[in-house]
Amino acid sequence: MARLLLTLSSLVLLVAVAAYGVWTQDRPAGHYLSDLRIQVAVDEGVRSGRGNLLGVQPELFATDYQSLERLHRKLAAYLTQARDLGMLNARTVVVLPEHIGTLLWARGEKDELYQAPRLAEAHQWLGYSNPLLFARAWLGASSDDRAQDTRLRMKASSMASDYQQVFGGLAKEFGVTLVAGSIILPDPHLRDGTLVAGQGGLYNVSLVFGADGKPLGQPQRQLYPDFVQRRYVQASPDSPLQVLDTPAGRLGVLIGSDSWYPANYAQLDAQGCELIAVPAALNGKDVWQAPWRGNPDRHDGGPLGVKPGEVSEGEAWHRLSPARRASVSVFLRGQFWDQFSGGQSFASHDGQTHPSDDSRGARLINLWL
């Protein structure tokens, strides 16, 4: 009798494990309607044949990441409308927002993840659907926020491949130089022209793609992650800031809060930088009007000239972005489960800052050179 019960229990367990395995592999993609419209928020300067910096502030949602086809469709629709407006040419540098690639951790998951009301529940579904990946990544995680480290590490290989496929593909499709926002990956680097994830700490990086779809330079690491991301993203204060040759001029990329620090601009100036792209992101629906929080975890003591709480978040970003350079700061906008992404994109040039509005919807921020 005992042997029979043991046999039956084993069969039940095997059936349950098999059913769970089948469930984890099931990835149906439901129908999804997305707003593909985009409006011009800033259009400054005069067409002179020298090219332009074009910031694309998308409005994205979790379901946009259910497949690469959906994400491509939305971003390509924005760029098609920019082209119809005459804002794309061989000397255009397109700038996308920070973390537009990081969200690729959600690609190809089960419907339950996208329909979850809260981000915490979406994270749970990610672990339930990928138990082996989660376990392996957990063993390799080492940062203070081990759970977040694990979630970003577990699909790093596919995220790196997806990032290059989507954004390198868009650069080639539209014949432009494209600053592909940013993505958080473990020890990201190029191997024979291909972005790959390593085994080390997590870094927030941006990659620039030329009109042939191939990377220009190396992945640019963020030097000073903000105080929230520092729990799992490594700072890289000694990483060099690259200046890349593009058809529009020599281009530098400052990710997020890296754009606050005068020493970074001095490093770019020393290399003859003419254009600056700032992929940025802020978490919070009304964060742009809230008091500026600064970056309290930065310990090198460099002065900023603005004290935390002295001005609003938006005013601080405008003050800390030197307007004498041609630059575009582009923020991620949208809603990801119960989390909102705020910030208002803007352009800076010839001593003036040109802000966009705070209305919902995607925006183009164009600066003729």
Domains of the chain with bracketed CATH: 37-368 (3.60.110.10)
**Pair of tokens at residue 347:** 């352009």
Whether 250 and 271 have beta carbons less than 8 Å apart is answered as yes
pLDDT, one tens digit for every residue, the chain (369 residues)? 566 555 545 544 443 344 344 434 554 555 566 789 999 999 999 998 899 999 999 999 999 999 999 999 999 999 999 999 999 999 999 999 999 999 999 999 999 999 999 999 999 999 999 999 999 999 988 888 999 999 999 999 999 999 999 999 999 999 999 999 999 999 999 999 999 999 999 999 999 999 999 999 999 999 999 888 989 999 998 899 999 999 999 999 999 999 999 999 999 999 999 999 999 999 988 899 999 888 765 554 456 778 888 899 999 999 998 877 899 999 999 999 999 988 999 999 988 999 998 888 899 999 999
CA 300 to CA 316: how far, in whole Å?
20
Q: What is the pLDDT of residue 285?
A: 85
Report the pLDDT value the prediction gives residue 28, as an integer from 0 to 100.
55
Of 184, 180, 288, 194, nearest to 229 by C-alpha is 184
What does the alpha-carbon distance between residue 148 and residue 201 come to, in Å, rounded to a whole number?
Answer: 12
Half-sphere exposure for 119 (CA within 13 Å, toward CB):
13
The pLDDT value given to residue 26:
53
pTM of the model: 0.90
Do the strands 333-336 and 339-342 form a parallel or antiparallel pair, or are they unpaired? antiparallel
The rounded distance, in Å, linking the Cα atoms of 343 and 354 is 14
Residue 12's pLDDT is what?
A: 41
Confidence (pLDDT) at 309: 84
Per the rule left: phi > 0, alpha: psi between -120 and 50, beta: everything else, 65 is: alpha
DSSP E strands, the chain: 38-44, 52-57, 59-61, 92-95, 177-179, 183-186, 189-191, 194-196, 202-209, 215-221, 243-246, 249-253, 275-280, 282-283, 326-331, 333-336, 339-342, 346-349, 352-355, 362-368
CA pair distance 100, 16, nearest whole angstrom: 37
Instruction: Please state, in angstroms and rounded to a whole number, the distance separating the CA atoms of residues 32 and 192.
Output: 37
User: What is residue 20's predicted lDDT score, i.e. its pLDDT?
Assistant: 43
What pLDDT was estimated at residue 34? Answer: 79
